[in-house]
Amino acid sequence: MDLNGKWALVTGASAGIGEAFAEALAARGANVILTARRVDRLAMLAERLRAAHGVESLVVAADLSRAEAPIEIAAAVAAAGKPVDILVNNAGYGQPGHFQDVEWPVHRDFIELMMSSYAHLVRLFLPPMQQRGYGRIVNVASVAGLIPGSAGHTLYGAVKAFLISFSQSLAAENAGKGVNVSALCPGFTNSEFHDVNNTRALITALPRYMFMEAKPVVEGALDAVERGHVVYVPGMWNKFVITLIRFLPRPWGAALVHRQSQKFRRREEG
């Protein structure tokens, strides 16, 4: 996967899976456009990638919970004269608690960042990809979007399911146009995600075989989108869980997820 001369836009690039995507893309020769809220971390990452791989970079500060942010990112990219050949929609977080216990503005911002910003960025950068006859789009979803919903983190699985279906439709619409679209569906991945959610102690108590490091998750995702693999689930444990849920009768699968999530939430609330 030689990406010399290509430009890749990575959202949520300041840490975790987003940072790993930036590293992997730069290692393949791609220049990178890095966006997140923490500009200082993006600047350090940009310098590290330049020193290690000799790639160019553009840092764009953005809060994607703001509806205007995708347009501002596109304007900054256009002003710099950089084409976006690869789009990695990765920005995100989890919102703990039951739906009624969280004020609507918090939910609204969550939906804006986790769903609307993904679709908006695709709408802005997809047409030029089609015109050039080349594009790669990775929407970072989750195994949560492939299993029945559970109590707590109410919108998380819902928006991830949207991203999977959205990616499938985009892939179908762009077949034969040189634009590949893939939904990455990781499970538990070692990153700052759980620190932001204040669930680090809880997550640490889970078995290590349930976890993956960000680097192999990202490497597999880049290979998957290059091959035209539309829904990619990394890791044997995650594949096992998804396969089990798929073959169980739907009520059984829902009951299994509910039972396991109850155990998890009791630890979370305790």
Residues marked active site are found at: 156
- Please answer whether residues 95 and 112 qualify as being in contact, where contact means their C-beta atoms are separated by less than 8 angstroms: no
CA distance 184 to 111: 19
The β-bridge partners of 36 are 61
Could you identify the residue written with the tokens 């499938």?
168
Task: Tell me which amino acid residue 63 is.
Answer: D
SS3 for 141? Answer: coil
CA distance 113 to 117: 5
- DSSP classification of residue 252: H
SS3 for 60? Answer: strand
The β-bridge partners of 134 are none
Could you identify the residue written with the tokens 């819902």?
158
Task: Tell me which amino acid residue 163 is.
Answer: L
The β-bridge partners of 88 are 10, 138
Half-sphere exposure of 73 (CA within 13 A, CB side): 34
